[in-house]
Amino acid sequence: MEILWSPWRSEYIKSFKDEEQNQTCFICEAINNPTEKVSRLVVFSSHSSIVLMNKFPYNAGHLLVCPVKHIPIFDELSESELLDLFQSIRKSLNVLNKSLKPHGFNIGVNIGRVAGAGLPEHVHFHIIPRWNGDTSFITLVSDTKVVSQAMDEIYNMLVKAFDEIS
């Protein structure tokens, strides 16, 4: 890998100010509207965390595991909230393994807009089930992702599995 040094760009980078965030937090909307669980794709909640399906999934069963507390970084969670969040991640993996039988997972978190966070003010984990061959020529040729199962079908399957495991 070749590295190009351009120290003069640091002034340009420093010139950016944090963008004003006026968008609604869809995670908090899901938390604050428990009667809208289905429309907000909530599949599980505990006292300190919530699990919902990603409305724009990378793959079938793409989940978001979030603290109930509206925070941008994990440092603001108590030990019990952090433990509950990781227990919800483990439970989500068990449910996805049982329901969808993926060959593997990508698990990640984007902290800050420059890291790719679409909602930087409410930190959350992504759990993405992966299967051998889940990326095909269409992804490479047309920058298009094919999700092979209907959202409502996956939703019902996951809610049932979370109920059974809880």
**124 in catalytic set:** yes
- Between 126 and 11, residue with greater pLDDT: 126
Which burial class, exposed, middle or buried, applies to 31 when counting CB atoms under 10 A from its CB (0-12, 13-18, 19+)?
buried
Please say whether the beta carbons of 128 and 60 come within 8 A: no
60-80: pLDDT as tens digits = 999 999 999 999 999 999 999
In 11-138, the DSSP E strands lie at 42-45, 49-53, 63-67, 104-108, 125-130
What is the per-residue pLDDT for 24?
A: 85
* pLDDT-based confidence at residue 108 (cuts at 50, 70, 90): very high
C-alpha torsion angle, residues 87, 91, 97, 99 (rounded to 10): -160
Please say whether the beta carbons of 158 and 61 come within 8 A: yes
* pLDDT-based confidence at residue 28 (cuts at 50, 70, 90): very high
Instruction: Report, as an integer, the average pLDDT of 80-103.
Output: 97
Q: Model's pTM, two decimal places?
A: 0.81
Neighbours of 32 (CB within 10 A): 11
Domain-by-domain residue ranges, the chain? 24-165
- Select which of 47, 103, 122, 124 is catalytic: 124
Q: In whole angstroms, what is the distance from residue 104 CA to residue 98 CA?
A: 13
What is the per-residue pLDDT for 1?
A: 61
- The one-letter amino acid code at 148 reads S
* Closest alpha carbon to 147 in 128, 125, 160: 128
Q: Where are the alpha helices (DSSP H) in 33-150?
A: 79-100, 137-142
Neighbours of 30 (CB within 10 A): 21
Kindly report the CATH number that applies to the domain delimited by 24-165: 3.30.428.10
Average confidence score pLDDT of the chain: 86
Q: Bridge-partner residues for 52, per DSSP? A: 42, 64
Q: Which secondary structure element, helix H or strand E, spans residue 152, and what is its range?
A: helix 151-165
- Whether 17 shows a pLDDT value over 70: the answer reads no
110-129: pLDDT as tens digits = 998 888 888 899 999 999 99
Instruction: Report, as an integer, the average pLDDT of 143-153.
Output: 73
The pair of structure tokens assigned to 129 is 């089930």
